[in-house]
Chain A
Amino acid sequence: MHGTRILDEADRLMTVCNSCRYCEGLCAVFPAMEMRRAFSDGDLNYLANLCHGCGACYVDCQFSPPHEFNVNVPRTLAVARAESYAAYAWPRALSGAFARNGLVISLVAALSMAAFILGFAALNDCSVLFGVHTGPGAFYKLMPHNAMAVLFSAAFLYAVLALVMSVRAFWRDIGPPIGGKADGGSIFQAIRDAGELRYLHGGGVGCYNEDDKPTDRRKLFHHLTFYGFLLCFAATSVATLYHYFLGREAPYPWWDLPVVLGTLGGIGLIIGPIGLFVAKSRRDSALLDEQRYGMDVGFIAMLFLTGLTGMLLLLLRETAAMGPLLALHLGAVFALFITMPYGKFVHGIYRFAALVRYAQERRTAV
């Protein structure tokens, strides 16, 4: 017996699957399962986070419902995965944020954007807020650079700390790899596996979403979202280097590296989340963890808002709308940062850790 009902169910399913093994070629979950004969809470959380939810094992399973064995691995692991986010959240006091995550994310986003608008309005004269500002340092007429840097660095560092503490708890709980130890090769392998979403492909044909016809759409939109996010992060990083090392202040011309990176990333962050949202809304309810709909959509919406406000800011930065849009964009980014450890963002962190563990086990198993 495990700590929760969903882990009991995951254990039951892994026992069924381990005596069948037909799915071992589909992804990483089943080979990892085969290395074990019994499953601890940590093992199950590891397998749950290793699962990418491609749905192939459900469509291919001769025992999926309505069969009496009622084998639904994608949904069971999705629920277990979401519960593991709460279980490993740091500090523990905030794990409740996962319970009604859609509401929490919406509230934080709304409050954050409202706070930036109110702050801008309170600290700036109306003529400045709705004024037209151009040239280097235009943004800092509305919010001093140092204030921006301190606020966002603090939010970012807090998010990093909370994520590190959370993933540390996960890493300890899943225990040492079966017969191996960490090495650089495993991390490199996991970066490749995560970077190409190797296991979101149903064993080669694509993943299953609304029916039994495989497609690669989710993978494509996830790539757009993920690489869009990385490009935006890179844009901000390059801009920070420009600011401190080259003395060049934002905004930059459209052809300059931070803007090019940010524009490409922004486009990804607009199209990607829309595609993921459409896929989510069409997903076969049998595969869906409906209770986490708010968490999933909340995160998609945050990324979309970040991309959208950023792109609007770029397009309208030389107009009177720049001030309010800057407030909205900063509000969205701030909310994204501080909710990172308490929302769907963590899926990437735990999955990456699980992929590292899997790579270790594979390397030692061979």
Chain B
Amino acid sequence: MSSKYDVLVIGGGNAALCAAISARRGGASVLVLEGAPKFYRGGNTRHTRNMRCAHDAATEILTGPYTEEEFWEDLLRVTGGQTDEVLARHMIRESKDIQNWIVEQGVRWQPSLGGTLSLGRTNSFFLGGGRAMLNALYLTAERLGVEVAYDAEVTDLVIEDGMFLAARLKRPIRGETEIRATSLVAAAGGFEANIEWLKQYWGEAADNFLIRGTPYNRGSILKMLLDKGVQEVGDPTQCHAVAIDARAPKFDGGIITRHDSVVFGIVVNKHAQRFYDEGEDIWPKRYAIWGRLVAAQPDQIAYIIFDSTVVTSFMPTLFPPIAGQTVAELAGKLELDPAALEKTITDFNAAVRPGTFDHTILDDCVTEGITPQKTHWARRIETPPYLAYPVRPGITFTYLGTRVTKEARMLMADGKPSANMFAAGEIMAGNVLGKGYAAGMGMTIGSVFGRIAGREAAKHARN
């Protein structure tokens, strides 16, 4: 068989499969190289559950309209303006159609999941979750005649003057160790699972990071591209990071290790000191800052502390809370200084002002006279058993990437567009997300730019 394809897609997640399907539908021969074994195919898409798309009216599964302008304002707010406006607005416009296109590729939607009602208007949820979505995309791709190879680790890219020529493989695929193609779509994710690389920016602290997703996102393709003259985009220290249970596995713990209990209690570091306003804003708008906050604490560990009155106020957790009948007993189990924790909680309780608790709004339960202040949902922690979740930074994905045009074409360091190299998904998310995050955007970036990259790659190959 021929080892030359019209389009070579490196990566196996949402962006890669959307690119492969769209290129194949554009008439190209397509090979997908997924570096992971079949079970782990799809990178972080396996752990996703929804996509944020603009829409002008409510749908069967979305409770109301979410206009392009509102999407743009949300993006502007979470990124603090660190976004490529042309690219971002283009993505938002395309997101309207991607919602239907992805259904044509076999993906099914459902209304927002229990416990995520705040996303019911803006985000479409995958029926069965991200792996179900992936399974549907793979079935469609294979039905269309896209070839897929697993355990297909790429060791080198042959690129000359911004022109992709071939990819070299660690193990031969159908007897070939070099795959040539007319166009390349790089959709191989970020580098969050590469602890050594993270250490370049975070130092030894990165040893204490947990990686929420696939261990296969080591950024090797990203590194090759940057080394071979593709223009870099994004702050390498920026990533999507949340506070997850410290007892989670090093990799691939996914959604179930997260904690939603911060607003119901206080968070202390290893010295039993509070360090940030736990009630700054409603949780869905704040959960993605806590990874960085914990990363900045000594030994990158913190403890969410609450009492027995709030245990049913948030989603059930995978790991049970650690419990103590007294604050001192709890401190002992957490290996914190009992006197310090007692003082922190006593001071906090003394600072709580009377108010009417309502976790669905920015209520008037505040503290006075302590630093940091807790500005909403502040209630005394006084009903045993006292409970705690240990948390560490959980890195979801990184933002450092390849700069692209709105055709998803990579830009070279000299500012010229590459002739035949395209990028989609996490590997170029930094174009849109300079920092911050709003739920479901990663999948929007993946699907929209995946579809565009596939289309453009096929167009180039067939010209």
Contact residues of A with B, CB < 8 Å?
Answer: 15-16, 18-26, 31, 34, 37, 56-57, 59-63, 66-69, 203-205, 212-213
Contact = CB atoms under 8 A, between A and B. Distances in A.
Given A24-B113, A24-B114, A26-B128, A18 B316 contact: yes
Nearest to A26: B128
Contacts of B108: 203-205
Nearest to B106: A205
Instruction: Across the A-B interface, give the 8 residue pairs with the lowest CB-CB distance, nearest first.
Output: A22-B129, A60-B128, A25-B110, A60-B132, A62-B46, A19-B256, A19-B318, A25-B127
B47 A19 contact: no
Chain B, interface size category, equals: 20 to 34
B127 A37 contact: no
Contact of A23 (B129, B317, B318): B129
Contacts of B249: 68
B130 A22 contact: yes
Contact of B318 (A16, A31, A37): A16
Nearest to A37: B316
Given A15-B316, A19-B317, A62 B115 contact: no
A61 B132 CA distance: 8
Contact of B129 (A15, A60, A66, A204): A60
A235 to B, nearest CB: 41
B49 interface: yes
B139 interface: yes
B39 A60 contact: no
Contacts of A22: 49, 113, 126, 128-130, 132, 255
B273 interface: no
B312 interface: yes
Given A18-B315, A19-B317, A34-B114, 18 more contacts: A16-B256, A18-B316, A19-B316, A20-B255, A22-B126, A22-B128, A22-B132, A25-B127, A26-B127, A57-B128, A59-B131, A61-B129, A62-B47, A62-B131, A62-B254, A63-B254, A67-B39, A203-B108
A188 to B, nearest CB: 25
Contacts, number: 83
Interface in B309-360: 312, 315-318
Nearest to B260: A19
A204 B109 CA distance: 11
A153 B130 CA distance: 54
B135 interface: yes
B252 interface: yes
A15 B135 contact: no
B128 A203 contact: yes
Contact of A20 (B39, B111, B126, B256): B256
A15 B111 CA distance: 22
Contact of B128 (A56, A67, A213): A56
Interface string B428-439: 000000000000
A15 B47 contact: no
A15 B316 CA distance: 8
A68 B249 CA distance: 9
A361 to B, nearest CB: 14
9 contacts: A15-B316, A19-B316, A21-B113, A22-B129, A23-B129, A25-B110, A56-B132, A59-B135, A62-B131
Nearest to B38: A212
Nearest to B61: A25
Contacts of B317: 19
A213 B126 CA distance: 18
